[in-house]
Amino acid sequence: MANTAHETATTAQGALQGKHALVTGGARGLGAAITRRLARAGALVHVADIRRETAEDLCAELKEDGCRALYTELDVRDPAAVAGAFRELDETGPQPLDILVNNAAVDVSKPIEHLSAEEVTRVVGTNLLGPMYTCLEVYRRMVDRGGGHIVNILSTASCRTWTEAGPYAAGKAGLRAFTHTLFKEAQRDCLGVGVTGVVAGGMETPFVLDRFPDADTSLLQSPEIVADTVLYALSVPSGSVVPELVVVPRSESSWP
């Protein structure tokens, strides 16, 4: 799978020329890898994140490379802020949004007995409600326009869980169910709208390494491989759509 996705990414330079994309949590880690792939494939990418400085540095890097990237401040946990951000894109954006990638995610690695209500709310709010809020805004717009593509970044935790991952697994499993439902509704509502869930295994990103600094990185995959997989899903000819893709390290212990 990884080789196929990488080959697709290599040959897809310019495949998204003129497309308008938004990546949540797009400033670092997997989000930054996805932002780079989309921008280098020709899309104008909005880097939607709460990390302004990091996001603006990424946008500057891409502009130096001749790509187009803009920072959009967005906390996906706030439905009013989400609605406002998409209204602003309608009013000021160069064109309607063609691609939404829901990547923003957080985790708190604790036994359930030690979790606080605030921690549970933060994880589920970011990982499940946030993508649902953005989909509510984007999906209806895409149906009205007759086209577009939504990619939701899932996790192996959406299919099989482990200890100290209660809220994370609950959020990702819920997002997987929501993604499958949205895919079915798109088949009914508008065949021009694609919906894809990407089930990603462990990656060598700050999401893992900030919490587990002693993690064996030889057991993790590069976020660029997952970003290639996203680009593959977006590059499938219009007569087809990929509802779900799984990309994991060879050593992934949580799959199947």
Q: Which residues are catalytic?
A: 168
- Say which residue the tokens 């309607």 belong to: 96
Work out the number of other CB atoms within 10 angstroms of the CB of residue 148.
Answer: 24
Listing DSSP states for 147-211 in one string gives: -EEEEEEEEGGGTS--TT-HHHHHHHHHHHHHHHHHHHHHHHH-TTEEEEEEEE--BSSHHHHTT
Shortest CA distance to 248 belongs to which of 55, 1, 45? 1
Tokens at residue 222, please? 């590069």
Cis ω before 256 (30° cut-off from 0)? yes
Residue with tokens 């990418």: 45
Report whether 181 contacts 136 (CB < 8 A). no
Cβ atoms within 10 A of the Cβ of 254, count?
15
> What is the C-alpha R_g of the chain?
17
What is the three-class DSSP state of 246?
strand
